[in-house]
Structure 1
Amino acid sequence: MAIITLTTDFGQKDHFVGAIKGTIYRELAEVKIVDISHTIRPFNIQECAYILKNSYKAFPEGTIHIVGVDAEPTVENQHIAVLVDGHYFISANNGVIGLIAAEIQPEKVVEINIPNPIHGSFPVLDVFVQVACHIARGGTLDVVGKPFTELKDLKEFAPRITENGNSIVGSVIYIDNYGNVITNIQRSLFEAYRNGRSFTLNARNRKITEIHHKYSDLINFELDKNQRKGPGDLLALFNSSDYIELAIYKSDLNTVGGASTLLGLDYRDTIIINFN
């Protein structure tokens, strides 16, 4: 049974997601549709890429991923279908796939060119669904498009190495449901430049000198409870996707707040690591 996933910034209020699912089921009654997320911030390419990059690998190879973020076609935002890491992605060439494929060479990339396309305001339904159903039936990418080599690469989202390798300047790429702040600094980059040195992570006016591997590492259970760090304290850790994350232990955005609100950090804000 084919699997088609949906990742969009459509939200839950409007008819868009329902129309997409209904059209797919009308074409392929036995297909399995999985919602990854429909609450991507509108047109937020980095957030979409982060969520999709860290979820697609959980699906079996051959899964088809429809990406409904910034999907309106222009001469600089072509519609593409990509086979990478054994998975199919149908998207606009807006940088999402470039970020996902930054470390893995795509096996095939085509610019979508289907017969009699509908040039309307809902290209995810009019174009992407057609392509997804074609692939789900066993069709090839060669039928829906022509080879394409200009996959957009958004270098602005990459961390910068400064001060002759003594500093990493990163930025906030995602804020999760708990208000945890995810940076674009991966463990591999951090360790490559750390080279055994001590460091200071600067986030607004807060300085952190230790990065944990799980949230509860913040607590020294050998101390009495009234002497320990715990709920409400700030920590940094390598999260499950191996990015440096800033968190408030057992935070709640709806009550006490999270790292994003308590530190005053938002999307694209700067995080700096200095090696000593």
Structure 2
Amino acid sequence: MAIITLTTDFGVKDHFVGALKGTIYRELEDVRIVDISHDVSPFNIQECAYILENSYNSFPEGTIHIVGVDSEPTPENQHIAVLVDGHYFITANNGVIGLITSAKNPEKVVHLNIPNPTHGSFPVMDVFVQVACHIARGGTLEVVGRPFNELKELRDFTPTVVDNGNRIIGNVIYIDNYGNVVTNIHKNFFEAYRKGRSFELSARSTKVHHIHNKYSDIINFELDKGQRKGAGDLLALFNSANYIELAIYKSDLKTVGGASTLLGLDYRDTITVSFT
């Protein structure tokens, strides 16, 4: 049975997600549809890429991923389908695939060219669903598109290294449901330049000198409870995707706030790591 995932910035208030699923089921009775997220911030390509990068490979190879973020076609935002790492992605050439495939070479990329396309305001349903159903039936990419080699890359989201390798300048790329702040500094990138040195991570006026591997590492269970760090305290860690993340332990963004609100950090804000 084919699996089709949906990742969009549509939210769940409007009819869009339901219409997508209904159209797929009308075309394919024997299919599984999985919602990865419909709460991507509107037109936020980096956020979309982060969510997809850290979810798609949990699915079996052959899964078809419909990406409905910034999907309206223009001469600079072509509709494409990509086979990479054994997975199919149907999206616009807006940079999201370039971010996902930065460490992997796509096996196939095609510029979509389906017959008699509908040129409306809902291309995810009018075009992407048609292509997804074609693939789910066993169809090939060559039938729905022609070879394409102009994948858009968003290089401004890559950390930069300055001061002869002594400083990394990164950015906030994602804020999760808890208000935790995810940076674009991957553990491998960090360790490659750290080389065993001490460091200071700076985010606005906040300074951090240690990065944990899990949230509860902030607690020293050998101390009495009144002397421990715990709920409400700041920590940095390598998250499940191995990116540096700033978090408030056991935070609640809707009540006491999270790292994003308490530190005053937002998407694309600067995070600096200095080695000594």
- The TM-score, its normalising length taken from structure 1, stands at 1.00
> For residues 222 and 270 of structure 1, what CA distance do their matches in structure 2 show?
35
Question: Which residue number corresponds to residue 2 of structure 1?
Answer: 2
> For residues 60 and 229 of structure 2, what CA distance do their matches in structure 1 show?
41
> For residues 127 and 255 of structure 1, what CA distance do their matches in structure 2 show?
42
Q: Which amino acid aligns with 2:204?
A: R
> For residues 91 and 246 of structure 1, what CA distance do their matches in structure 2 show?
31
Deviation at 1:172, TM superposition (A): 0.3
Deviation at 1:225, TM superposition (A): 1.1
> For residues 224 and 24 of structure 1, what CA distance do their matches in structure 2 show?
57
Q: Secondary structure at the match of 1:216?
A: helix
Question: Which residue number corresponds to residue 26 of structure 2?
Answer: 26
Deviation at 1:226, TM superposition (A): 1.0
Q: Deviations over 1:70-128 (max 9, x none)?
A: 00000000000000000000000000011000000000000000011111110000000
Deviation at 1:259, TM superposition (A): 0.3
Deviation at 1:156, TM superposition (A): 0.6
Question: Which residue number corresponds to residue 157 of structure 2?
Answer: 157
Q: Secondary structure at the match of 2:164?
A: helix
Q: Secondary structure at the match of 2:89?
A: strand
Query: For 1:111-122, what aligned pairs fall within 5 Å after superposition?
Result: 111-122=111-122
> For residues 17 and 227 of structure 1, what CA distance do their matches in structure 2 show?
49
Structure 2, unmatched stretches of 5+, are: none
Question: Which residue number corresponds to residue 105 of structure 2?
Answer: 105
> For residues 175 and 104 of structure 2, what CA distance do their matches in structure 1 show?
25
Structure 1, unmatched stretches of 5+, are: none
Q: Which amino acid aligns with 1:10?
A: F
Mapped pair 1:86 → 2:70: no
Percentage identity across aligned positions?
78
Q: Which amino acid aligns with 2:40?
A: I
Q: Secondary structure at the match of 1:70?
A: coil
Question: Which residue number corresponds to residue 272 of structure 2?
Answer: 272
Question: Which residue number corresponds to residue 188 of structure 1?
Answer: 188
Question: Which residue number corresponds to residue 198 of structure 2?
Answer: 198
Mapped pair 1:43 → 2:25: no
Query: For 1:206-217, what aligned pairs fall within 5 Å after superposition?
Result: 206-217=206-217
Question: Which residue number corresponds to residue 222 of structure 2?
Answer: 222
> For residues 254 and 74 of structure 1, what CA distance do their matches in structure 2 show?
38
> For residues 226 and 121 of structure 2, what CA distance do their matches in structure 1 show?
59
Question: Which residue number corresponds to residue 60 of structure 1?
Answer: 60
> For residues 180 and 209 of structure 1, what CA distance do their matches in structure 2 show?
18
> For residues 258 and 137 of structure 1, what CA distance do their matches in structure 2 show?
45
> For residues 55 and 267 of structure 2, what CA distance do their matches in structure 1 show?
20
> For residues 129 and 227 of structure 1, what CA distance do their matches in structure 2 show?
56
Question: Which residue number corresponds to residue 74 of structure 2?
Answer: 74
> For residues 227 and 156 of structure 1, what CA distance do their matches in structure 2 show?
43
Q: Which amino acid aligns with 2:160?
A: R
Question: Which residue number corresponds to residue 236 of structure 2?
Answer: 236
> For residues 223 and 5 of structure 2, what CA distance do their matches in structure 1 show?
47
